[in-house]
Amino acid sequence: MRLGIIGGSGLYDLDDLDSAEWRRITTSFGDPSDDLLFANAFGAEFVFLPRHGRGHRLLPHEINYRANIAALKIAGCTDILSVSACGSFQETLAPGDFLLVDQYVDRTRGRERTFFGGGIAGHVSLADPNCGRLRDEVADAARRTGIPVQNGGTYLAMEGPGFSTRAESRLYRQAGLDVVGMTAMPEAALAREAELCYATLAMVTDWDSWRDAERGAAVSDILAVMHENVTRARRIVRALIAALPGSRPTCSAGCDRALEHAIVTPPDLWPEMTRTALRDVAGRVIG
């Protein structure tokens, strides 16, 4: 089992590593957000990728999500923990709190959201869009650190880059959604297509814009909360790494077999170019 960590806003590298090396990986789907950090700690090898690049150079819609997921797959990752800063729609999720997301509502637009196409049609199931097993492992890791984490909640993926209007924010709150961010989709869907176990650790940084008496989501407030809490996010990640099993168990949630019955086009019709590109992420079924 090899863990990939996608660091979101505020998490651009990891500390306390025994060894680490930044390496460039190119993919059939373009370049990832940055080089990948191949690292070793607690006797486990893992890979880290800063989603917005070091120095936070990329807006959510400028991120090449396909290349990021493909690069982590090429790097040998079997599981991905994605860390994301989020606004909260719930009184029970205050700035500084952590949530393990189990559902997403995707309101992003115009992003490349599939590896399929170009003559090979594939449709994966997204009913349970992330890995319950990995989520529980992260919850256990958090428990060992003593950091409270809510296990389960819905993440609204908005297009951005501007934050929600008050009307949008209230609508999402009334709909019972829990947090809002700009990056977990199509990342989660692409991880599923690449047969990777995927979970989102959401770090609540603000109340978004539904509270009358407050000015609404603002980067200065978000960055302040993020800086105060990124150390706790790192502690959860470290506890997870320290408990990683040496070999990957067959995923009880089925993420590692997501493509088993997903491809509709018969193999004799697969265009060679598309097949070659898909090998980066779907070699197991593409051959």
Ligand X SMILES: CSC[C@H]1O[C@H](OP(=O)(O)O)[C@H](O)[C@@H]1O
Ligand Y SMILES: Nc1ncnc2[nH]cnc12
By beta-carbon proximity to ligand Y, the closer residue of 8 and 129 is: 8
Based on the shown chain and the rule CB under 6 A, indicate whether residue 181 belongs to the binding site for ligand Y.
yes
Burial call 137-173: b when 16+ CB within 10 Å, e when fewer: bbbebbeebebebbbebbbbbbebeebbeeebbbebb
Can you tell me the distance from the alpha carbon of 40 to that of 244, in angstroms, rounded to the nearest whole number? 12
Q: CB–CB of 132/200 below 8 Å?
A: no
**Using the rule CB under 6 A, which residue among 35, 106, 206, 280 binds ligand Y?**
206
Residue numbers 57-76 binding ligand X by CB under 6 A: 60
Instruction: Report the DSSP beta bridge partners of residue 49.
Output: 6
Distance linking the first and last C-alpha atoms of the chain? 21
Q: Is 250 annotated as a binding residue?
A: no
**Using the rule CB under 6 A, which residue among 121, 167, 219, 264 binds ligand X?**
219
**Using the rule CB under 6 A, which residue among 5, 74, 81, 85 binds ligand X?**
85
Based on the shown chain and the rule CB under 6 A, indicate whether residue 10 belongs to the binding site for ligand Y.
no
Catalytic residues, which ones?
A: 206, 208
By beta-carbon proximity to ligand X, the closer residue of 78 and 205 is: 205
Based on the shown chain and the rule CB under 6 A, indicate whether residue 182 belongs to the binding site for ligand X.
yes
Which residue spans within the chain are E strands per DSSP? 3-7, 19-23, 36-41, 44-50, 79-88, 98-101, 103-107, 149-151, 154-158, 179-181, 197-206
Based on the shown chain and the rule CB under 6 A, indicate whether residue 9 belongs to the binding site for ligand X.
yes
Q: Which residues contribute to the site for ligand X (CB under 6 A)? A: 8-9, 51-52, 60, 84-85, 181-183, 219, 222
Q: Which residues contribute to the site for ligand Y (CB under 6 A)? A: 85-87, 158, 163, 180-182, 205-206, 208, 217, 222
